[in-house]
Each structure stands twice: as structure tokens, then as C-alpha cells.
């Protein structure tokens, strides 16, 4: 994922995301303001989750976590626009406690076709708006606020309350999240007035739910031998950025040979898939 010359990649915005069978949520900061969001899932999502190879479900936690990263980047971009900030050249870093989702955003490889489309959607959104979407791993014990936002929910269409905790009303969420964020080691103290709950616009909600529905209808453990590759180019300020490469099945690697202000030269090394190797490995 090489949208700009490596030396220019200075993080401008950070945040954290999390997902569960109950829903997903996250928080990100712009200046002195911390924005929070959450999205509950239907009961069908929890019922369809694959927790081990013997399960008959259709979606994994990896895909839900990846979907949360995409949703957060889309919401972050909307806040840039609302503040009159130019998204071109900004670098958004999202922390997630799911290593598979983090790796997918960097390698653009995932085991399921539905998950691959989520990675592609993230790459396309970044390319269209000229920013860099990065992800890094964070230990689950340090991702408390995002974890809370993804679980302290009432399932849509379900009167049963999340057994882990009663859902906090929207008007009380800023105070609760501020308290959780202030518990982090070395954190700069914030007040509830600096935390803003943002609504998910309909077009963002529709895209997220469309990708989720496709994942629910897919079979991620099916063996696949075909490859799917694509490059998206974003041309901003006279500089060409290669935003993504996607591939299913097999192995391989991609290396950068040289860069310039208006060109990027790549060397791609392919490796044939082992027909005797399980697609999951």
C-alpha cells in the first residue's frame, strides 16, 4: 500500500475500532474533539459467526473488524469535510485489536471474497479522496473504549438487552467514553464536552450494510484457486499513488523498485498456489 513516498507518511489523525456479534463502534480525534460512533447488528450476525472450523456460519470476526475500520474512515472523511479540511495527503491511522483485519489493510489479501471487497472499498475510498488509510494492532486490554462502543448495544429488532451491560443512552455516552479514555496510561485528560457522538449518514450505513449482507451470504471457507487483482490509482498534486493490490488464492509478494515525483516502478513476484494446501492456510 504505497500511496505516497514513504518519508511523507506522517500520521495526521488516529482512532480505534472494534466489532463483535452485537455491533461495531469506534472513536477518532480531530484536534481537541473526540468523535464516537456505534452501529448495532441484527441477531442474524451473531448467529452466522464462525468461531471455529467446524461451525456452519458464514462470517468471521475478521470481516466484522475490517468493516469497522472501513466505516470509521468514511466517518472520519465526513468530519474532515465538515471542518473544511482538505483530505488530500492526510494519513488516517486506525488501531484495531484484530491482527487479521490489520494485516488485510496492508497486504490487501483476505481469505473470503466478501472480505476482499471490504478491503477494496477501503482502498477505493482512500484513492477517491486522496488520503492514506493505515491500520496498526493494539492489545485488546488497551482498546477499552472501542470495545465498549461495539458491545454496549441493544440488537436491532431485539428487545433483549446485551447481557454484559445495559446500553448507555446516547446523551450519556460522551461522559462514559471520556472516563474510559482518561483511564489509558499517559492519556491527555478530556472532558465529556470534548466527546461528540456522530450519526452514521444513510449512504455510509447503506454501503456498510450491503457489504455485511454479502458477507453473510458468502461461504468464506470454500477453496478458491482464481486470482483477483486490481490497482487503483489516485493522482493528487501531480503525484501518482498506487493505492492497492488485491489477490485471492496462492502466494506472492510485491516490492517497490523506485519512486519519483510522478512515477512508481514495481516488481511483482507471483507464486503458484499449492493445490494440496487448504485455502485457509
Report pLDDT digits (tens) over 122-159: 999 999 999 999 999 999 889 999 999 998 876 555 54
pLDDT for 219: 58
pLDDT for 218: 72
Helix 202-216 to helix 61-82 angle (10° resolution) is 170
Please tell us whether the domain made up of 6-216 is placed in CATH 3.40.640.10.
no
Taking only Cα atoms into account, the Rg of the chain, rounded to an integer number of angstroms, comes to 19
CA distance between the termini of the chain = 23
pLDDT for 110: 67
pLDDT for 16: 97
Q: 218: Cβ–Cβ under 8 A, 6 or more apart, which residues?
A: 58, 59, 112, 113, 114
pLDDT for 56: 65
pLDDT per residue, tens digit, the chain (281 aa), is: 444 554 457 899 999 999 998 899 999 999 999 999 999 998 888 888 876 655 567 788 999 999 999 999 999 999 999 999 999 989 999 999 999 899 888 776 666 778 888 999 999 999 999 999 999 999 988 999 999 999 887 655 554 545 555 778 899 999 999 999 999 878 889 999 999 999 999 999 999 999 999 888 875 444 333 333 333 333 333 333 343 433 444 344 344 433 444 444 444 433 444 444 433 33
Q: CATH 3.30.420.10 in the chain, residues?
A: 6-216
pLDDT for 138: 94
Long-range contacts of 105-109 (CB under 8 A, 24+ apart): 105/1, 105/66, 105/69, 105/133, 105/134, 105/135, 106/1, 106/134, 106/135, 108/1, 108/244, 108/245, 108/246, 108/247, 109/246, 109/247, 109/248
pLDDT for 87: 95
DSSP category for residue 83: T
pLDDT for 9: 73
pLDDT for 244: 40
pLDDT for 125: 95
pLDDT for 258: 39
pLDDT for 153: 76
pLDDT for 47: 84
pLDDT for 226: 32
pLDDT for 25: 96
Amino acid at each position: 500500500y504505497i500511496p505516497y513516498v514513504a518519508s511523507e507518511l506522517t500520521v495526521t489523525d488516529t482512532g480505534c475500532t472494534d466489532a463483535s456479534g452485537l455491533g461495531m463502534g469506534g472513536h477518532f480525534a480531530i484536534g481537541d474533539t473526540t468523535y464516537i460512533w456505534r452501529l448495532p447488528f441484527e441477531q442474524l450476525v451473531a448467529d452466522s459467526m464462525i468461531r471455529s472450523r467446524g461451525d456452519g456460519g458464514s462470517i468471521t470476526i475478521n470481516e466484522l473488524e475490517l468493516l469497522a475500520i472501513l466505516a470509521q474512515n468514511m466517518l472520519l472523511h465526513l468530519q474532515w469535510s465538515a471542518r473544511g479540511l482538505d483530505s488530500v495527503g492526510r494519513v488516517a491511522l486506525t488501531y484495531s485489536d484484530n491482527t487479521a483485519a490489520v494485516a488485510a489493510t496492508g497486504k490487501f489479501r483476505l481469505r473470503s471474497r466478501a472480505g476482499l471487497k471490504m478491503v477494496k472499498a477501503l482502498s477505493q475510498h482512500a484513492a477517491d479522496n486522496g488520503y492514506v488509510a493505515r491500520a496498526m494492532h493494539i492489545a485488546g486490554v488497551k482498546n477499552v473504549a472501542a470495545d465498549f462502543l461495539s458491545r454496549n448495544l441493544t440488537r436491532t429488532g431485539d428487545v433483549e438487552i446485551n447481557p454484559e451491560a445495559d446500553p448507555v443512552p446516547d446523551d450519556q455516552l460522551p461522559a462514559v467514553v471520556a472516563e474510559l479514555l482518561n483511564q489509558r496510561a499517559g492519556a491527555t485528560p478530556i472532558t465529556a464536552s470534548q466527546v461528540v457522538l456522530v450519526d452514521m449518514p444513510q449512504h455510509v450505513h447503506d454501503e456498510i450494510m450491503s457489504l455485511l449482507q454479502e458477507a453473510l451470504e458468502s461461504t468464506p471457507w470454500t477453496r478458491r484457486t482464481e486470482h483477483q487483482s486490481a490497482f487503483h490509482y489516485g493522482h493528487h498534486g501531480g503525484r501518482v499513488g498506487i493505492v492497492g493490490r488485491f489477490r485471492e488464492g496462492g502466494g506472492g509478494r510485491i516490492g517497490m523498485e523506485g519512486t519519483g515525483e510522478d512515477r512508481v516502478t514495481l516488481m511483482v513476484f507471483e507464486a503458484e498456489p499449492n493445490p494440496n494446501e487448504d485455502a485457509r492456510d
